[in-house]
Structure 1
Amino acid sequence: MESPLSKFGNTSPVKSDINQQNIGVADLKLLRVFKTVVEAGGFTAASNDLNIGLAAISKQISDLEIRFGMKLCTRGREGFYLTEHGKVAYQACLDLFSSINQFRDTLNHARREIFGELNIGIIDNTITDRKSPVVGALSEIHRQAPKVSVRLHATQLEEIERGVIDGRFTCGIIPVYEEKTDFDYFFLYNEISHLCCSYQHDLFTLAPESLTDARIESASLIKHFYTNHSHQNPTLHFQPSNAVAVQVEAVTMLILTGNYVGFLPEHYISRFVSEGKIKALKPEDIYVTTPFHLVVKKGAAQNAVMKLFLDALKHEPVVADVHSGAR
């Protein structure tokens, strides 16, 4: 309820230090009392709403007038009236508390939201792996925290490791051939690789009974830069090779020449197998399991964005029906 303007006008202002001090908690309490009095239409009605006595209300209104250096209202036999200054103060009071409520609501809303940036370094050529949870996790991040900025970098292993160490990447998703003390590791899934040859290689057309270990060992094996696969297949002993490759696509190119055999991820070769260009040699017996981990810098604190991403990676992976790429 808005009280009428006082017919007596304004009295001489009281000296105040309001220009020298900020609005504090005590001022807010007095302003709440003033607002309640105005909306109740007087001290008596406000005393019930505030659950305090008339003398206390009168004292607090007087304190507020002294604090602001202006007469805000008249009270007495003539009733309760706002002065011109009082009317301005009441409107300002409404604006102030509206702003406070908006500020509170904004913070409460922000508290339920997640902001930040997620820079991910990921080894390339993994999108065809149905066991990879990355696509599903990124979808979950967007669903739960659409204001998070996501940057995805597909690059080589060493670049990802350097980026995580120097802080360019929040995390990396990589094949782990050996664990290093620079990182904390979170296991995601295993990638299976098979020993492969192309349709131009002599081993391609051999019958299963003719595909002996000795015949396979006679082939020239592409040395993968990151790991020596022979220790995971102790029955095979290949001769030193003059072919070295770093990325999966590079291994594939060398295999397609018909001069070499090499290990390729199972998910990656499906396209070439269906086209009759590549064949896995004794896939049930000769294969390599490579664990994929999410890695972060050793001891790095996990913020809300990182925790959400880790949790999202635990969900069922989204199947990606994509058949090309390059590591």
Structure 2
Amino acid sequence: MFRTLTALAVTATLLAGCGGERPEKNTTTEADLPRVTGVLSTKSAKQLFGAESAGSPQSSAPYGSYAKGCLAGAAQLPETGPTWQAMRLSRNRNWGHPELIDFVEDLSRKAARQPGWNGLYVGDLSQPRGGPMLTGHRSHQIGLDADIWMRPADDLRMSRGAREEISSISMRRSSGAYTNNNWTRAHHEILKAAAQDPRVARIFVFPGAKVQMCNDESGDRAWLRKIRPWWGHHYHFHVRLNCPDGARGCVNQDPPPPGDGCAAAQDWVNNILNPPPPDPNAPPPKPRRELTMGDLPAQCASVLAAQ
């Protein structure tokens, strides 16, 4: 019922002023959004996109930025493949732009060549139509982000139920300043293979892992620029792809700073080990408000409406 009301509300809006004819795909303009009424005016964007169970029947296109956008024509990563399994299937977040699906499958084949790995356990990609998620991530909105579990994928025959119960394993110690004994050279090689893929913009991992890779790499270090330290990311690493060629509505993140980024990662580690004293004059953080449809690109209304 919710899905039907959403589609009716958006479709009615899009048809207004169009002579009653259905518009061409992906032609919503910014002027359409203020006229969205009914369900769209009373629901947050995450409620609308979180209610969708399948991708839109449109050409594949990411709209907006990684943390403020949506995805038309998403492809679904199969639940199980020769060298991967999608995890936590109840979330229905194994959707992405076709380039992301292709990348994940490619990386899983490379991972399967590492000792102890038969491939990859794949965490969250995006929702069926992208957009803000009901829980968890602020990004993953345009189908170009993927979470890959750090746990070696040694069993690719797990049932759906087993995939809800099993968890990844942490690679960190000392609050992320160092890797622990679960970290192996295979992790290094899988992250390196991901970073060397030209489709990849950056990879987020906990600071101690970045420093460990900097210390262990003795060859070409150019790929290390894409490995970026970020809080968390010790149970999984987060891969972000560049906007695909020709995706005019997609907004790339600024590229990483020049250099291999190893000194900056060491600064992160130093701050973990010797945190600076809190600033008593620092203003309290502002609460984040929920995104509305008006915050998203205009095309996202047609992504919701498409049936």
TM-score strictly above 0.5: no
**Structure with more helix by fraction:** 1
**Structure with more strand by fraction:** 1
TM-score of the superposition, structure 1-length normalised? 0.21
Larger Rg, first or second structure (1 or 2):
1
